[in-house]
Structure 1
Amino acid sequence: MGFFSWIIMGLIVGVLAKWIMPGKDPGGLIVTIIIGIVGAFVGGFIASLLGFGGFSGFNLYSVLISVGGALLLLYLYRVIKK
């Protein structure tokens, strides 16, 4: 995936994660994109460790893995923040 694809996917994943897990989080558009991009890496890493394989492009499987990683990041942020 190219640079702009990562940004678009990060925005979609970040918005989905914040929609699924609403709450008081930092953020505007840039933070949402960063959460989505880092969530994609975290989700891909965990999926690879569990034997599901990583993500291979912009498809539903990749978005689901990425949203899972972003949700994990949001959860950890909230635990650390308290």
Structure 2
Amino acid sequence: MSILGLIISLLVIGLIAGFIARAVVPGKQSLSIPMTILLGIIGSFVGGFLGYLIFHHDAMDGFFQPAGIIGSIIGAIIVLVIYTSVKGRRSVSH
């Protein structure tokens, strides 16, 4: 796969995973489309990392790698839950 193909697939999978994560996680997330794509891309790497930790091997035998669409969605949900909980704590003033 070429570099351009890799970038396009990361963007598309990131967009899909980010939108699904935003639909699953309750509450209002005020994220732009580029931030939603970034959420999905980060989620993809989190999903790949968790897949490696659970199964101890993968197609590329790498420790830090992008995951498939299911792993990307799970990773994006985890990242979004952490993001909303940290953001929620910052917005509360004492």
TM-score range, shorter chain: 0.7 to 0.9
Cα deviation code 1:19-75 (max 9, x no counterpart): 11142223111000000000000011011101165577xxxx811111000000011
Retained in 2: the 8 A contact 1:39–1:67? yes
Letter in 1 for 2:39: I
Normalised by the size of structure 1, how large is the TM-score? 0.82
Match of 2:71 in 1: 65
Summarize the alignment of residues 24-43 of structure 1 with structure 2, pairs less than 5 Å apart.
Answer: 24-43=28-47
Runs of 5+ unmatched residues, structure 2: 61-66, 90-94
Q: Which has the higher contact order (CA 8 A, sep 6+)?
A: 1
Match of 1:17 in 2: 21
Give the root-mean-square deviation of aligned CA atoms.
Answer: 2.1
Moved over 2 A (4+): 52-56
Normalised by the size of structure 2, how large is the TM-score? 0.73
Structure label with greater radius of gyration: 2
